[in-house]
Structure 1
Amino acid sequence: MVEFSNAYTYAVGALLLWGVWGIAANYSVERMDNMAVLLVTYLVGVGVVLALDPGAFGGVEFDAGLALSVLTGLAMSLGTVLFYRALDLGQLSGVTAIPALYFVVAFAYGVLVLGEPVSASQVAGVGLACVAVLLLVQ
Structure 2
Amino acid sequence: MAVVAIVLATACAVVYGTADFFGGLATRRSRVLAVVALTQITGLVFVLPLLPVLSGTPSAGALAWGVAAGLCGGLGVILFYRALAGGVMSVVAPTTATTSATLPVLAGLAMGERPEAAALCGVVLALAAVVLVSRSPGAPAGRATLSPIMQALASGLGFGAFFILLKQVPGDAGLWPLAGARLASAIGAGALALTTGRTLRPGKGALPAIIAAGILDMLANVLYLLAVQRGLLAVVAVLASLYPASTLLLARYVLGERLSALQTAGVGLALGAVALIASA
What's the TM-score, normalizing by structure 1?
0.80
Measure, in 2, the Cα distance between the counterparts of 1:113 and 1:31.
Answer: 38
Structure 2 partner of 1:105: 246
1:114 maps to a residue whose letter is L
Identical-pair percentage: 26
Alpha carbons 2:245, 2:266 under 8 Å: kept? no
CA displacement 1:63-91 (0-9 Å, x = unmatched): 53112111111001111111111111221
Query: Offset of 1:136 from its aligned partner?
Result: 4.5
Alpha carbons 1:86, 1:95 under 8 Å: kept? yes
**Where do 5+ consecutive residues of structure 2 fail to align?**
1-82, 97-151
Measure, in 2, the Cα distance between the counterparts of 1:65 and 1:109.
Answer: 18
Structure 2 partner of 1:69: 210
**Where do 5+ consecutive residues of structure 1 fail to align?**
none
Query: Offset of 1:37 from its aligned partner?
Result: 0.5
What is the DSSP-based 3-state SS (H/G/I as helix, E as strand, rest coil) of the residue aligned with 1:89? coil
1:39 maps to a residue whose letter is A
**Matching residue within 190, 210, 229 for 1:88:** 229
What is the DSSP-based 3-state SS (H/G/I as helix, E as strand, rest coil) of the residue aligned with 1:59? coil
For the pair 1:33 / 2:173, whether they are aligned, the reply is: yes
Structure 2 partner of 1:128: 269
Structure number with greater CO (CA < 8 Å, separation at least 6) is 2
Query: Offset of 1:41 from its aligned partner?
Result: 0.3
Structure 1 partner of 2:121: none
Structure 1 partner of 2:58: none
Measure, in 2, the Cα distance between the counterparts of 1:65 and 1:23.
Answer: 32
Measure, in 1, the Cα distance between the counterparts of 2:202 and 2:258.
Answer: 32
2:184 maps to a residue whose letter is V
* Inter-CA distance 51–59: structure 2 relative to 1 (3 Å threshold): closer
Alpha carbons 1:93, 1:136 under 8 Å: kept? no
Measure, in 2, the Cα distance between the counterparts of 1:45 and 1:32.
Answer: 23
For the pair 1:49 / 2:132, whether they are aligned, the reply is: no
Count of matched residue positions in the alignment of Structure 1 and Structure 2: 134
What's the TM-score, normalizing by structure 2?
0.43
Alpha carbons 1:104, 1:126 under 8 Å: kept? yes
* Inter-CA distance 112–61: structure 2 relative to 1 (3 Å threshold): closer
Measure, in 1, the Cα distance between the counterparts of 2:192 and 2:171.
Answer: 29
1:71 maps to a residue whose letter is A
